[in-house]
Structure 1
Amino acid sequence: MGRLWYFAQAVLGILFRHPVLGTSVIPVLADGRIVLVRRRDCGKWGLPGGMVQWGEDVHTTAKRELAEETGLELIKVLRLVGVYSSPERDPRIHSICIALEAEVRGDLHINDRYELSDIKAFELSAIPFGNLAHDHEQQLKDYLQNLTVLA
């Protein structure tokens, strides 16, 4: 019985006491605009992205989340912008986010109306700083400064 309890504790610890891994995609259209989505949970704009599912790699997650949230196709990952791991970065859970810049194409449309209320391509000068979800403002500022960050 002791070994079973030890195993159960280990599994519960992995599930509930370790951060989850996710991605943020900075989708760049051919004309240089960046696509953001408006989240229903907080009403703020944010980068498309989400949690890595069991059996997925980060690239596959980025492609899937981008398509699910924006209807866009990920053509090429251009660079790693950063790895963001602050326990305060997402008020829902402790998550580690890998932010990627990506070349994308396609027509904008929301596939997940439960999670998102709007989608828009922004000129760099029109990004709604001050109204971005989670730590996406920091991710975009790091991107615009051409930084690669471990935070």
Structure 2
Amino acid sequence: MQQLWRPTRTLLGLLLRRPILGTSIIPVLPNGQIVLIQRRDSGLWGLPGGIVDWGEDIPTAAKRELAEETGLKLLSVGRLVGIYSAPQRDPRFHAVCVALEAQVDGRFQIFDTAEIMDVKAFALEEIPLDDLAHDHTQQLQDYLSGKVVLA
């Protein structure tokens, strides 16, 4: 029995203990303001985004998550801001996040009320960089400084 359990446990570890792929979007309105969401779980502001679903590519996931969390339409994907993979970046699980700039437009509407409390557009100087969820401060700082990051 012990001989069977060890390879089974190893196989389960290989299959189930993998980082989850997600995306975060830096939504830029036509007036240059950046849109942030207020998370229900922590009350902190952060970037819209989430997990890439099975059978979905990153641009499609970004478009879907943006619509669910903000009601906004993704007009075009701008530059890749970075790929963030530190195991501690998300307190819930190990998630690798692809951060993208996106040109967006539309009216705010929250469809995912279980996760999102509020949506707000911020002028660059008004973004609460000292108090954002996860590693979104780093992602926004990298975006604002024009970096493309592998972290």
Name the aligned partner's letter for residue 15 of structure 2.
Answer: I
1:90 and 2:110 equivalent? no
1:89-134 CA-partner distances (Å, limit 9, x unpaired): 0000000000000000100111111101111000000001111000
Q: 2 CA distance for matches of 1:78 and 1:136?
A: 18
Alpha-carbon distance between aligned partners in 2 of 1:28 and 1:7, rounded to the nearest angstrom: 48
Q: Residue 13 of structure 1 aligns with which residue?
A: 14
Residue of structure 2 equivalent to 1:69? 69
Amino acid at match of 1:85: S
Query: Where in structure 2 are the equivalents of 1:1-150 lying within 5 Å?
Result: 10=11, 12-15=13-16, 17-150=17-150
Number of residue pairs aligned between Structure 1 and Structure 2: 150
How far the C-alpha of 1:11 sits from its partner, in A, is 5.0
Q: Which whole-Å CA distance do the structure 2 matches of 1:28 and 1:9 have between them?
A: 45
Query: TM-score, structure 2 length as denominator?
Result: 0.93
What SS is found at the alignment partner of 2:131?
coil
For 1:122 and 1:49, how far apart are their aligned partners in 2?
A: 17
Q: Which amino acid aligns with 2:31?
A: D
The aligned amino acid for 1:32 is G
One-letter code aligned to 2:132: L
Deviations 1:17-41 (A, max 9, x none): 1100000000000000000000011
**Structure 2 spans left out of the alignment, 5+ residues:** none
Q: Cα RMSD over matched residues?
A: 1.8
4+ residue stretches of structure 1 with deviation over 6 A? Answer: none
Q: Partners of 1:93 and 1:121 in 2: how far apart?
A: 28
**Amino acid in structure 2 at the alignment position of 1:103:** Q
User: Using the alignment, how far apart are the partners of 1:46 and 1:65 within structure 2?
Assistant: 13
Post-superposition CA distance 1:59-103 (Å, at most 9, x none): 100000000000001110010000000001000000000000000
Which blocks of at least 5 consecutive residues in structure 1 are unaligned?
none
Supply the distance in 2 between the matched residues of 1:57 and 1:7 (Cα, whole angstroms): 31
